[in-house]
Structure 1
Amino acid sequence: MGKTADLTTVQKMTIDTLKKEGKTQKVIAKEVGCSQSSVSKHINREAKGRKRCGRKESTSKRDKRALERIVKQNRFKNVGEIHKEWTVAGVSASRSTTHRRMQDMGFSCRIPCVKPLLNKRQRQKRLAWAQDKKDWTAAEWSKVMFSDESKFCISFGNQGSRVWRKTGEAQNPRCLKSSVKFPQSVMVWGAMSSAAVGPLCFLRSRVNAAVYQEVLEHFMLPAADQLYGGDDFIFQHDLAPAHSAKSTSTWFKDHGIPLLDWPAYSPDLNPIKNLWGIVKRKMRDARPNNAEELKATIKATWALITPEECNRLVDSMPRRIAAAIQAKGAATKY
């Protein structure tokens, strides 16, 4: 982006704001995402009071409002579909003009975030839970042991969508992405506190109430001793059938372990979900050939998790709760 005319309205407004804050042109260019010369030209143009030359825009403010309504009605349409609806509404503009106007409004085409579908009742329960926990302190959250299961696959299909290659290297093995029809995978159970992570458990079968209670007996209790010693703690797990079974509830009562009440479909409120993401990112360059090598890689990566990473994730709980309250129980960014 080397021309001032290529800057969008949002970028120009951002440049003006950062300039008033006293930021340098180099810093402004980095934050806005354009060249330093574009920033300099825009600032000089504004200082001299020069207006943009060229042909006047063919679309009016009314046309732009109509375009914004079309985009907001269904944000998953492509530019061609949006352009067609806009022209049907009586606006005479090319497809490229439609795209430019959308960019001027601040719209960008991005990969959507995937979140669980929440109905009204589930949102209300999430909101009620967040309001109940909004006054919890960092010391109270440090007493919670967060747990979860995660699936790890031997698959290199998501190692990046682009590759650097020369002409004629399309079939070069070093330039290919490998795909496996039925990749080997392992299911892992883990737990964490604000201080550290507990031991991992690799699940060999489908998790029912009986299997889950064995995991609790042989892995959760040792993790509690490791993370809390003889101190009291609160255990957290989601509402999976094996977790909410009557026999599992009885197991916790018999062992005198209190449970943290947890809203359904709330992975964004559980910091261990982000910990699994950290582990998978650290394994991005690993190339295990079978399930055993995959397990070894997971164990080695899990052992590299630092207390600082755990503490940072658990310390985010007040912010997660505040975000859930602000979203009125809907999904948050976490």
Structure 2
Amino acid sequence: MFSDVTTFCISFGNQGPRVWRKKGEAQNPRCLKSSVMFPQSVMVWGAMSSAGVGPLCFLRSKVNAAVHQEVLEHFMLPAADQLYGDADFIFQQDLAPAHSAKATSTWFKDHGIPVLNWPAISPDLNPIENLWGNVKRKMRYARPNNAEELKATIRATWALITPGRLHATPHCCSNLGKRSPN
């Protein structure tokens, strides 16, 4: 099972049309576009495997070891039950400080969950990065007005992901995340 956190912004993909202007039109109102310096955003944790995707967790705070363990308890464990039942699986996460904390390692040992060894600074190896990109592309033309509408759009887009779509998505998880015999 592959996992990661990403951020979605309300203005994602909402760049509007390009404006071509002639010399001297720089301050013409028809040639100006408003922008938001710090658009509303939401941080989301998700997990996927060749069997499908798990439930999303919208994070309200910076992720420390305690927050990460809560996500694991309330979102990763149900996702594992949903995707694998009683079958064994290996969990993947990056090397963020909350993930590599001693307390988090202890949590995994206490729950009997093996964690895939992962190289440092290697986001391009994680198939869920491609999945996040696909979700963001599918949301490109959504126009949420606030964080709640953004969350609803993310949930609706995530709900459309099926194992078949995961297998058909190039570089997403063609043969990755399948249960190993050990």
Shift of the alpha carbon at 1:157?
Answer: 6.8
Give 1:147 shift: 0.2
Decide which of 201, 205, 209 is 2:65's aligned counterpart. 209
Alpha-carbon distance in 1 for matches of 2:54, 2:19: 38
**TM-score of the superposition, structure 2-length normalised?**
0.84
* Structure 2 counterpart of 1:243, from 80, 99, 107: 99
SS at match of 2:52: coil
Question: What is the alpha-carbon root mean square deviation over aligned residues?
Answer: 2.3
Distance 2:15 2:155 in 1: 21
Residue 186 of structure 1: SS of its match in structure 2?
Answer: strand
Residue identity matched to 1:155 = S
Q: In the alignment, which residue of structure 1 is the partner of 2:179?
A: none
Between the two proteins, the alignment pairs up a number of residues equal to 168
Q: Looking at CA atoms only, which structure, 1 or 2, has the larger radius of gyration?
A: 1
Q: 1:181 corresponds to which letter in structure 2?
A: M
Distance 1:156 1:163 in 2: 19
Q: Which amino acid aligns with 1:182?
A: F
User: Which amino acid counterpart does residue 159 of structure 1 have in structure 2?
Assistant: Q
CA contact (8 A) 2:14 2:140 kept: no
- Residues 50 and 173, structure 2, Cα contact 8 Å, conserved in 1: yes
**Larger strand proportion of the pair:** 2
Structure 1 counterpart of 2:123, one-letter code: P
**What does residue 311 of structure 1 align with?**
167
Partner residue of 2:49?
A: 193
- Give the aligned partner of residue 113 of structure 2: 257
- The aligned amino acid for 2:96 is A
Aligned partner letter, 2:119: P
Q: Secondary structure at the match of 2:53?
A: coil
Contact 2:108-2:114 at 8 Å conserved across structures = yes
Q: Aligned to 1:234, what secondary structure does the other structure show?
A: coil
- Identity score, percent: 80
Q: Shift of residue 177 of structure 1? A: 4.8
CA distance in 2: counterparts of 1:287 and 1:182, whole angstroms: 16
Segments of 5+ residues of structure 1 without an aligned counterpart are: 1-144, 318-334
Q: Equivalent residue for 1:226?
A: 82
**What TM-score, normalized to structure 1?**
0.47
Q: 8 Å contact 1:234–1:257 — kept in the other structure?
A: yes
Distance 2:175 2:123 in 1: 14
**2-structure distance, mates of 1:287, 1:306:** 24
Tell me what 1:269 maps to: 125
How far apart, in 2, do the equivalents of 1:309 and 1:176 lie?
Answer: 40
1:158 deviates by 5.9
The answer to whether the 8 Å contact 2:13/2:140 transfers is no
Relative to structure 1, is the Cα distance of residues 195 and 214 closer, same or farther in structure 2, using a 3 angstrom cutoff?
same
Q: Higher relative contact order by CA 8 Å / sep ≥ 6: 1 or 2?
A: 2
Residue 182 of structure 1 deviates from its aligned partner by 1.4
- Cα distance in 2 for residues equivalent to 1:176 and 1:288: 22
Please list the CA deviations of residues 115-165 of structure 1 after superposition, one character each: whole Å capped at 9, or x if unmatched. Answer: xxxxxxxxxxxxxxxxxxxxxxxxxxxxxx000000011125763673699
Amino acid corresponding to residue 285 of structure 1 in structure 2? Y
| 1:235/1:257 contact within 8 Å kept | yes
Question: Which amino acid in 2 is paired with 1:239?
Answer: L
Higher normalized helix content (fraction of residues): 1
Tell me, what secondary structure is at the counterpart of 1:314? coil
- Report the alpha carbon displacement of residue 282 of structure 1 after superposing the two structures with TM: 0.5
